[in-house]
A and B are shown apart, each in its own frame.
Chain A
Amino acid sequence: MQVLTTIVGDRRFAIDCAEVLEILPLVAYRTAGTGPSWLMGLINVRGQLMPLVDLSVIVDGTSTAPRLASRIVVMALEADLFEGSAGRIGLLVPEVAGPFERDFASGGAHPGFTFAGASHLGPTIADGQGMVQLLRCRRLLEGDAALRELPIERWAPP
């Protein structure tokens, strides 16, 4: 399958191109001010407003420092978790490379762990640059009630 790869912390993740609608540079957004820690706020994509979610907080537990290479991956969720956003969200990732052709169903792949709260983590394979794990982005915010009910943990300077 064709995937885009991104690096969160020191781990590499892959996003299925089929799930991606569009890639945007980091644009100005209106902060949410409330809600889970991964919810950054709302962005305006050609007139349509949609929530901006920080992937680093979900995957790594730390927020992304915005830079020139930061990208917003626009994708459609299966269910409309956020009323009025037509099922679309923007996922803030530190950077994007690809698309590349990767086969996550190959013989050497690890199928992934099935703990509660990890349904978005797919199988892991090793390619020329090290190990890369497939992210099931559509499940990032669905099917896992615990994820949505994460407490608000905003990092505040001491």
Chain B
Amino acid sequence: MARSIAFHRSLLGRSLLLGVLPAAVLVVCVVALNGYRAWSDATGRLQEELQHATGLAVREVDLSNQRTVAMAHMLALGQESGQFGRRAETLRLLERVARSEESIYAAYIAYEPNGDGGDAAGAHDGVPAAALGEGGRFYPYFKRDAKSATGVTLEPLQETAEGGGLWYAYPKERFERSGVREATITKPYSYLGTDIIETVVPISMNGRFMGIAGIDVTLTRVQQRMDAIAAQLGADIFLVTRGRFIAATTDGHGDGSSSRHGTATALRATNVADSPWDALLKDAELRGDTPWIARDPVTDEECYFATGLVPTGQWRLLVRTPVSAAMAGVSAVFLTNMLTALAGLVVVVAVLALGAIGTARKVRNAQALATRIASGDLSSTREEAVTDGGDESSELVRAMHDMNTGLAGIVGTVRGSCAQLAATSVQLAATSQEQRAAVGAFGASTASIAAAVRQMCATGAELLRAIESVDAGARTTADSAVRGRIRLEAVSTKMARLDAATQEIADRLQIITEKAAAISSVVVAISKVADQTNLLSVNAAIEAEKAGDAGLGFLVVAREIRRLADQTSGASLDIHRIVEQMQASVVAGVDEMSRFTAEMREGTGEVTQTATELASIVSSIDASFASFSEVRTGMSSQSAGIAQIEQAVVQVASGARQSSAAAEDFGRVANELAHAVAVLQDAAARFRLQSDVEA
């Protein structure tokens, strides 16, 4: 029967696995690589665009600031070059300046109190009261007014707590401190309800501060410009002044509305430190003009940020655009890529599957035929094996059928031979059984004979060995006894000589003792003389001392004598001690010598007696040698005979064992043959031939 095959092992499964999987992996890799490249390209391009746009916006704001500053400078320069004090003329200029440009909200000039000496004159021809401040001070302020016929109205400047300090006191203080005429751009603040930024330039006459000239710009105006720029950029803008106040922003979150390009008035003129963008702006101040990605503190959305510094006024421009909006185009391209790849993959799978199913059907056909042959069914007909097509799988099916036919012929022949072989093997088995029984009986009797002979042989050999060892022992003993006797005689002689030498040494030691005593007595005599000499020298020294200077020479002699006497005394003492030690040694030596002599004499007697006993032992051993020799000869010849018998028996037993083994081998082979024939018959019976079917 066809076994069921797991899908991943089947032809279809394999072709899908080897074809589609690599293709899928390749497609995914290509798409991923393309997507990554498109993404990084888009990111780089976006950053470049953002950086460029930020630079443009910065330049535009800078230009506008520069224009305002130039205007204020122009007013101040006019005053300094002859207009100062000519109030009516100045008013005309101011009015024209205020009306000249849409971006200007107001233009003004303020003199120091009675700076031109014309305060007392008050309002007169050409100078209305609206241009004068307190005490007739020249204080005109032209501001834009839609209701007026001329488009502007004139009123005196108002000094508010914050405003006056910003536009008058601070520029004055700054000029007096530095002596340089510089424009001051104030922070955004509310002047009489209008949020403005002022650009103020001091008027200087011969190095003295005489007043100020200023131009006002409303925050609304700045805001409009920013809105226009932001609309062009498609991004939000934050414009922050040098003092970290927000001049304008296109972000609409400040007033609660979510409109991105709203007016955002609530945020205007607030300190950045009070807004959520404080940390972000601090970060921006540390960066260059390269855009970076950060989270918006309000929306928590990932955004690109870019920043730039406006040189005039030191304002900072911060541009923000969300990453999601910027990358929307890239995502669409990526999605299209993916869909195309997927479609391609589906087509590949379909084509592969169609081819694999056709081949698999033919292979299954061949498999069914092979299974029948394997189970022994050789009865299939040619019609069953016919298949259409000419590919390898069809060829395989036809070859299987040819093989089936051939096998059927071989099996018929084998069956006939098997029957003949079975009969022969049964006869062989019976014959070998009989032969094996006969050989076994012969082997057993031979083995028992061999055992008996071996035992006899061993006993004889053992006896011979015992006799030989007794003989050898007797010979060794006799030799040792003879040698011992000879050595003992030599020892005896040497001992006699040693005795004589010892006596001589003892005599000499006695002489040494006497001589030592003589030396002792001489040493005593020397000691006495030395003592006398010492005494004599002391007395001589005393006498020399008494003789005074005359005895000095003699004193030296006396000392020398005493030194010699002392040396003599020491030397004689040494000699005395040595002689005493010598005497003690000699006495000890004499004692030892006499004891040794006595022991030696005793030893000599024992040696002589031992020698006599050894001589008698040697003679008795010699007598027993003859009888040992006879016994040994007899035993040797007997042992040789037994050995020959044993060898013969062993040869016979070995022959019997070989016959028995051969008979056993033969029997085993006959049995194996019978078994093999039976197996062969079984195997042949398994096959079902066409003739069996017909029967």
Contact residues of A with B, CB < 8 Å? 2, 4, 17-18, 20, 22-25, 68-69, 71, 96, 98-99
Contact = CB atoms under 8 A, between A and B. Distances in A.
A35 B145 CA distance: 163
Given A20-B542, A99-B541, 7 more contacts: A4-B542, A22-B539, A22-B542, A23-B542, A25-B531, A25-B532, A68-B527
Interface string B385-412: 0000000000000000000000000000
B174 interface: no
A111 B453 CA distance: 126
B58 to A, nearest CB: 107
A17 B545 contact: yes
B538 interface: yes
B67 interface: no
Contacts of A18: 545-546
B535 interface: yes
9 closest cross-chain pairs (CB), A and B: A2-B545, A17-B545, A23-B538, A99-B541, A23-B539, A17-B542, A20-B542, A25-B535, A22-B539
Interface of B: 527, 531-532, 535, 538-539, 541-542, 545-546
A14 to B, nearest CB: 14
Contacts of B541: 2, 17, 98-99
Contacts of A69: 531
Contacts of B538: 4, 23, 96, 98-99
Contacts of B542: 4, 17, 20, 22-23, 99
Contacts of A2: 541, 545
A141 B573 CA distance: 38
A46 to B, nearest CB: 13
A20 B545 CA distance: 11
A115 B527 CA distance: 43
Contacts of B527: 68
A69 B534 CA distance: 10
A22 B538 CA distance: 9
27 contacts: A2-B541, A2-B545, A4-B538, A4-B542, A17-B541, A17-B542, A17-B545, A17-B546, A18-B545, A18-B546, A20-B542, A22-B539, A22-B542, A23-B535, A23-B542, A24-B535, A25-B531, A25-B532, A68-B527, A68-B531, A71-B535, A96-B538, A98-B538, A99-B538, A99-B541, A99-B542, A99-B545
A20 B531 CA distance: 19
Among B532, B535, B538, B541, chain A packs the most CB atoms within 10 A around the CB of B538
Interface centre among A18, A23, A71 (most CB of B within 10 A): A23
Contacts of B532: 25
Contacts of A96: 538
A6 B535 CA distance: 14
Contacts of B531: 25, 68-69
B531 to A, nearest CB: 6
A17 to B, nearest CB: 5
Contacts of A20: 542
Contacts of A4: 538, 542
Nearest to A97: B538
B569 to A, nearest CB: 10
A25 B532 CA distance: 8
A72 to B, nearest CB: 10
Nearest to A20: B542
B368 to A, nearest CB: 136
Nearest to A1: B545
Nearest to B527: A68
A17 B544 CA distance: 10
Contacts of A99: 538, 541-542, 545
A111 B539 CA distance: 29
Considering residues A4, A17, A24, which has the most beta carbons from chain B within 10 angstroms of its beta carbon? A17
Contacts of A98: 538, 541
A96 B562 CA distance: 12
Contacts of A71: 535
B560 to A, nearest CB: 14
Nearest to A71: B535
Nearest to B532: A25
A71 B531 CA distance: 11
B558 to A, nearest CB: 9
A111 to B, nearest CB: 25
